[in-house]
């Protein structure tokens, strides 16, 4: 049974929706949110580059699929400046070093039940118990408890000055109690709070979403979404060009010129493509060979050649879209000198969901072989590689990673990807100096000082040569001629919102 609308808070929600939904609106039209009186619109046909890798679990890489399609929400969101903005929490305040109080707005889950403090606290508790832990919780222990009829108190075991940012992570989306089974697995179908409800999933091929009419932010202008998961970038571009799609994410650079200028949207993002070297086992356990691999890489050839100047040559973990990074960057003091590989054999892997990556890997293969390595190249869909990559099954891996996607806090990617206990540590790096530098950054509250600590940690990581930044990406989104209100998000968390329509 659907919950009845509550007019006073609905009015507040409608006033807030343009702030959230319009933050990253496409220039193709107005990005304002829908209203309760919006007419039924056409269904949107959307192609995403990444098929679900974890059965649409909200705790891993699939969380971003759910947020981009408007299925899930957290207590907070990110605004255009990367600051925490209201979502399911209308407001919050810090009570002391360890405790924050989040006041909830009046909202409903897609299964018809009310978003209550108890339900929110239970959802966050399930996230803390997930295995592996969501990247947004790397190095953090939090406890959530209902406080009265309209608030949730979140307590951390150590001071966490960016907790509101952390709770904006797609992997910390709030789901209804019906979402969780006895083992703690979460099913987002019909149990989330966003403007679109996941109603059917056809494996890794497609998904159907219908409009959730009781969404707190007002009814969406599109009646639903027909999503297709198309790993081949050329196929996505062709489907958009021939009118089979309304939206296609991650258009290949090589295909951009085949689209009309009005159908291309290029967005600077915080995504960096890097070469990750397995520092725990295999050839690159040897720091001198990691140094040799780093010295062999010519990043300008990748930015100018593979990306046709739709990317910037890699300068660090954080690129130009993180506007303060360049002025605070600390040159790394390398820990080892390069040694001659002498035909050392390595396996280099990447995925084809982002179409430039196989070409990047092919160029890297040539550069590494010129330096003396023998390289075996493996390319497949991301979903087929992730478990092996996380288990250290490859010597080297080319990864395109949004450095602010997990929490909006620049420390999160460092903790999740490069510390001993990191949940997304494909580089298999475990270094005491790195862990100490990341821990210092995590504990620093002042914004400017935290940025300084982040860049010191970046230098400590680069010192190990476990990661070689290659390029800082811009993303091209294909937008059909009749489509407006697309959310072109530099953090790549959103794509479709209440105001997206055709």
pLDDT tens digits, residue range 121-166?
A: 999 999 999 988 888 887 789 999 999 999 999 999 988 888 999 9
Q: Is residue 35's pLDDT more than 50?
A: no
pTM: 0.74
Instruction: For 58-86, write each residue's pLDDT tens digit.
Output: 888 899 999 999 999 999 998 877 789 99
With respect to CATH, is domain 268-475 assigned 3.10.105.10? yes
Distance CA 273, CA 469 (A): 6
Q: Both tokens of residue 465?
A: 């040569």
The answer to whether 410 touches 454, Cβ cutoff 8 Å, is yes
Map out the domains of the chain as residue ranges: 7-229, 268-475
Q: Both tokens of residue 269?
A: 């993002």
Which residue carries 């109603």 as its tokens?
A: 199
Q: Both tokens of residue 96?
A: 């002391």
Give me the torsion for CA of 86, 88, 93, 94, rounded to 10°: -110
The answer to whether 42 touches 222, Cβ cutoff 8 Å, is yes
pLDDT of residue 378: 98
The answer to whether 481 touches 260, Cβ cutoff 8 Å, is yes
Among 24-28, 59-63, 123-127, 287-291, which is the least confidently predicted range? 24-28
Among candidate residues 360, 341, 345, the one with its CA nearest the CA of residue 398: 360
The answer to whether 256 touches 302, Cβ cutoff 8 Å, is no
286 backbone φψ class: left, alpha, beta (φ>0; ψ -120 to 50): beta
pLDDT of residue 268: 82
pLDDT of residue 459: 97
Report the CATH fold assignment for 7-229.
D-Maltodextrin-Binding Protein; domain 2 (3.40.190)
Cβ burial 381-412 (10 Å sphere, 16+ → b, else e): bbbebbeebbebbbbbbbbbbbbbbbbbbbbb
């Amino acid at each position: 049974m659907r919950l009845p609308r509550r007019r006073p808070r609905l009015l507040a929600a409608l006033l807030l929706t343009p702030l959230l939904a319009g933050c990253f609106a496409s220039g193709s039209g107005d990005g304002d949110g829908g209203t309760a009186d919006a007419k039924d619109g056409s269904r949107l046909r959307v192609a995403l580059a990444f098929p679900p890798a974890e059965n649409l679990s909200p705790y891993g890489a699939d969380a971003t699929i759910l947020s981009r399609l408007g299925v899930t929400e957290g207590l907070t969101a990110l605004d255009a400046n990367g600051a925490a903005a209201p979502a399911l929490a209308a407001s919050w305040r810090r009570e002391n070093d360890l405790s924050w109080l989040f006041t909830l707005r009046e909202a409903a889950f897609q299964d018809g039940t009310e978003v209550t403090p108890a339900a929110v606290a239970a959802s966050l508790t399930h996230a803390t118990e997930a295995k592996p832990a969501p990247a947004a919780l790397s190095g953090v222990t939090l406890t959530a408890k209902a406080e009265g009829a309209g608030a949730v108190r979140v307590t951390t075991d150590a001071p966490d000055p960016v907790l509101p940012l952390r709770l904006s992570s797609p992997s910390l989306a709030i789901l209804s109690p019906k979402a969780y089974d006895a083992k703690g697995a979460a099913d987002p179908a019909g149990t989330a709070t966003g403007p679109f409800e996941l109603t059917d999933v056809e494996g890794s091929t497609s998904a159907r979403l219908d409009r959730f009419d009781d969404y707190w932010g007002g009814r969406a202008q599109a009646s639903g979404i027909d999503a297709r998961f198309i790993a081949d970038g050329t196929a996505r571009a062709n489907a958009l060009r021939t009118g089979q799609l309304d939206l296609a994410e991650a258009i290949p650079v090589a295909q951009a010129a085949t689209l009309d200028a009005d159908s291309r949207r290029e967005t600077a993002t915080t995504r960096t493509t890097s070469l990750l070297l397995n520092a725990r086992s295999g050839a690159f356990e040897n720091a001198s060979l990691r140094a040799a691999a780093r010295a062999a890489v010519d990043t300008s050839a990748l930015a100018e050649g593979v990306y046709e100047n739709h990317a910037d040559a890699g300068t660090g973990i954080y690129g130009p879209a993180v506007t303060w990074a360049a002025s605070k960057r600390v040159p790394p003091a390398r820990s080892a000198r390069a040694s001659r590989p002498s035909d050392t054999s390595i396996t280099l892997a990447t995925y084809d969901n982002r179409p430039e990556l196989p070409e990047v890997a092919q160029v890297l293969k040539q550069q590494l072989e010129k330096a003396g390595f023998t390289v075996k190249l493996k390319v497949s869909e991301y979903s087929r590689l992730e478990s092996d990559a996380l288990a250290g099954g490859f010597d080297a891996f080319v990864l395109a990673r949004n450095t602010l996607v997990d929490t909006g806090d620049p420390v999160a990617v460092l903790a999740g990807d490069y510390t001993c206990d990191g949940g997304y540590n494909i580089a298999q790096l475990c270094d005491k100096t790195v862990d100490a530098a990341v821990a210092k950054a995590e504990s620093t509250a002042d914004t400017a000082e935290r940025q300084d600590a982040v860049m010191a940690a970046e230098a400590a990581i680069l010192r190990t040569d476990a990661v070689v930044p290659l390029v800082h990406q811009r993303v091209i989104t294909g937008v059909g001629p009749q489509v407006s209100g697309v959310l072109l998000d530099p953090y790549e968390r959103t794509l479709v919102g209440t105001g997206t329509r055709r």
